[in-house]
Amino acid sequence: MPHNLLAPSTDYYGIFSDLDPADEKWWATARDFGVECLKVINEDWEIGRTNPDLVRALGDRDLFTDGVEIPGHEVMSPLAAGLVAMEISRADGSMGAVAAVQGGLVMRSIMLYGSQQHRDTYIEKLARGEIFGAFGLTEPDHGSDAVALETTAVLDGDDYVLNGQKRWIGFGANGHLTIIWARLEDGGVGGFLVPQTTPNYQAEIIKGKGVLRAIDQSLITLKDVRVPAENRLPGVSSFKDVSKVLSATRSGVAWAALGHAIACYEIALEHAKTRTQFGKPLVKFQIIQQRLSEMLQDITSMALHCKQLAVLEAAGHLAPEQASMAKGYCTKHARIVAANARDMLGGSGILLENHIIRHMGDLEALHTYEGTETIQHLIVGRKITGTGAFA
């Protein structure tokens, strides 16, 4: 098995050259999925189709566990989970989002806060990709300030009655199970497992997306949706609990951005070697070498951020603010790499067959979700100054 699945011209500092064999195995498994994904993803992306075969292929390779300890499944180390997120996104951002939602958000929430019955009922099916899960937090009027969620849950006898709307929810309309986060009567926060066949659960796929086109996202409307009290996640009482899930996946977003950037850089480098202009290959032009060097500097810095996140998490010392800094930095610089790569390919850079335009578009979504760059800066700023400046 290759010791490092990145070429020396990509992993210039050898950051991933000393991996544990178990981490290498996970990385190679994700790379194998990526090769399969690239055969069909442009077609799926162009017509805006979620390919269930690709979703199940992730489950078949056990790539949904995202470092969560699940009985009967091998546990990924934090570094392995990061490399998997990186490698899936190196192939495609929609599939990276699928893995992040299914494993990083839905399965993590159930394993952290669900009852044993919840775990027994759903986790294995989710892990195998037999059912698709959704994470219903973001609302039409609350994205970055999700803490202000307006969806309500009112106890009525043996049921909770849910009312409100959720927006931008992956698999919210074409999945099987949605975790709905809602405000309780006492002001706290509750998480509720809602089968999508529940009466009055209405969801419509959001049309017109220019990015992440191979994963459906939806607007969910809840009007007097009744769910049994036993469907409430017993381990959740406040938004702080939800934030624990989000902080874990924020690291994954940083890794995903790195994967997108690597793909764009490697495509641009190969193009520059083979494309001839004015009688010589592009690589012989000074400006091209400068741009490639700058792209490599960004990728190297991103990789160092991500590797250190894994080190801190493995030691039990990763703070949410550190994940925020890495997420903000990596998505920002991945966008710069992608823009340079697209420009270097000229007109060919806008063709799906060359992949860069897909990565470039998907990075726009990555830069926004799990908190915008501004929000990440404010999270870090609050930590280093002791003063919140969110409003």
Q: Which residues are catalytic?
A: 370
Cβ proximity of 340 and 267 under 8 Å: no
List CB contacts of 367: < 8 A, sequence separation 6 or more. Answer: 257, 331, 332, 335, 373
Torsion of CA 284, 287, 290, 292, to 10 degrees: -70
Residue 152 carries which side chain, given as an amino acid letter?
T
Number of Cβ within 10 Å of residue 88's Cβ equals 28
Using an 8 Å Cβ cutoff, are 84 and 100 in contact?
A: no
**How far apart are the C-alpha atoms of 135 and 245, rounded to whole Å?**
11
Listing DSSP states for 100-141 in one string gives IIIIIIIIHHHHHH--HHHHHHHHHHHHTTSS-EEEE--BTT
* Percent composition of the chain: helix, strand, coil (DSSP 3-state, to 5): 55, 15, 30
Buried/exposed code over 42-69 (b: 16+ C-beta within 10 A; e: otherwise): bebbeebebbeebbebbbebbbbbbbbe
